[in-house]
């Protein structure tokens, strides 16, 4: 319940998680908070209005989204200074998790305002806990680049990353993203894709990148919806494998041309010849 304590004339900002699909996931505390606050700052006021109408909540709405949140921070601070309480919501899930709000929360914390989390649905956590992949360490990457080169460069960097890697992807780019995972990791990475989490057609797809792509090719319906993509790779598919490949190439390049050295290294390591050929060229240029 929102506090209007007379001990502090200033109001508070409440970070309120909303359902990502199933409306029954809306907590009683979150619902009551939205009833009690003076204003609700929403990523999309039209979207939030539908949620409020469903729960018969009346509220004063204004928008905070990617393009205006830096400017809105001062406005929210002025409301709190007046003793007003404000809730921040995104279109779905927990605000700030690949959604707007960071600049507002950071600015308010800097000014000494109270920021209160009201926990609830989050696609990242919901997908990860049901994935069957390691959860003792994980790295959340948000949305990956839209273009293939940017994605591949990022995926290469993840070879140094410990734990399970998680990112969000859209229906329009998920096939190409998994194809780029296959390009970078081959079938060394174990993937789980959570599609439409908490919604009617919630689906978990597991396998290597090539197996996931085959499932997409066999059933185009599996490409529909919003995706949480999770990758787990053994240490051998990351830094140690790369070091071993370089060690072998270093020896072979002393006596063999690049092409032959790469072919021989591929037989010894099981890595792809094209990958090793490029590595050998990079080693020579260095």
Whole-angstrom distance, CA of residue 93 vs CA of residue 265 = 47
Residue-by-residue DSSP string for 123-155: HHHHHHHTT-S--SSEEEEEEPPSSHHHHHHHH
> Which residues touch 98 (CB under 8 Å, ≥6 apart)?
142, 143, 168
> Which residues touch 112 (CB under 8 Å, ≥6 apart)?
none
- Residue whose structure tokens are 């599996």: 222
Give the pLDDT confidence score for residue 139 in this predicted structure.
Answer: 96
Give the pLDDT confidence score for residue 235 in this predicted structure.
Answer: 45
The neighbour count for residue 73, using CB atoms within 10 Å, is: 19
Residue-by-residue DSSP string for 216-276: HHH-GGGG-S-EEEEEEE-GGGTHHHHHHHHHHHHHHTTTS-HHHHHHHHHHHH---HHHH
Whether the CB-CB separation of 193 and 174 falls below 8 Å is answered with yes
Question: C-alpha distances in angstroms, 17 versus 30, 103, 153, 233?
Answer: 7, 18, 33, 31
Structure tokens at 246: 């370089």
Structure tokens at 44: 């999309």
pLDDT in tens, 34-84: 999 999 999 999 999 999 999 999 999 999 998 999 889 999 999 999 999
**H helix runs in 10-65, sequence order:** 28-36, 45-54
Whether the CB-CB separation of 142 and 42 falls below 8 Å is answered with no
- Residue whose structure tokens are 């970070």: 15
> Which residues touch 70 (CB under 8 Å, ≥6 apart)?
103
What length is written for the chain? 286
pLDDT in tens, the chain (286 residues): 676 544 468 999 999 999 999 999 999 999 999 999 999 999 999 999 999 999 999 999 999 998 999 889 999 999 999 999 999 999 999 999 999 999 999 999 999 999 999 999 999 999 999 999 999 899 999 999 999 999 999 999 998 888 899 999 999 999 999 999 999 999 889 999 999 999 999 999 999 999 999 999 999 999 999 999 999 985 444 456 777 888 898 899 888 999 998 999 988 888 888 889 988 888 888 6
Q: Nearest-CA neighbor of 33 among 95, 78, 77?
A: 95
Crossing angle for the helix pair 273-285 and 258-269, nearest 10 degrees? 130
Q: Nearest-CA neighbor of 25 among 199, 227, 224?
A: 199
């Amino acid at each position: 319940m929102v506090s209007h304590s007379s001990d502090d004339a200033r109001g508070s900002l409440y970070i309120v998680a909303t359902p990502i699909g199933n409306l029954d996931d809306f907590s009683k505390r979150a619902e009551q908070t939205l009833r009690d606050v003076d204003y609700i700052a929403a990523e999309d006021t039209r979207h939030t209005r539908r949620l409020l109408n469903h729960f018969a909540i009346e509220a004063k709405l204004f928008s905070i989204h990617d393009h205006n949140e830096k400017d809105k921070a001062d406005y929210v601070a002025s409301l709190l200074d007046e003793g007003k309480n404000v809730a921040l919501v995104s279109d779905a899930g927990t605000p700030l998790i690949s959604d707007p709000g960071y600049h507002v929360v950071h600015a308010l914390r800097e000014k000494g305002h109270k920021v209160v989390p009201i926990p609830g649905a989050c696609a990242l956590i919901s997908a990860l806990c049901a994935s069957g992949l390691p959860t003792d360490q994980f790295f959340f990457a948000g949305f990956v680049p839209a273009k293939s080169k940017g994605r591949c460069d990022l995926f290469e960097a993840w070879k140094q990353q410990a734990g399970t890697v998680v990112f969000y992807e859209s229906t329009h780019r998920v096939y190409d993203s998994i194809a780029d995972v296959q390009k970078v990791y081959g079938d060394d990475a174990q993937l789980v894709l959570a599609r439409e989490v908490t919604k009617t057609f919630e689906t978990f797809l597991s396998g290597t990148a090539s197996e996931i792509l085959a499932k997409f090719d066999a059933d185009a319906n599996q490409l529909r919806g919003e995706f949480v993509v999770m990758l787990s790779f053994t240490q051998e598919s990351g830094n140690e494998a790369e070091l071993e490949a370089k060690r072998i190439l270093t020896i072979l390049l002393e006596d063999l041309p690049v092409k032959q050295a790469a072919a021989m290294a591929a037989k010894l390591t099981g890595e792809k010849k094209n990958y090793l050929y490029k590595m050998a060229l990079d080693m020579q240029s260095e």
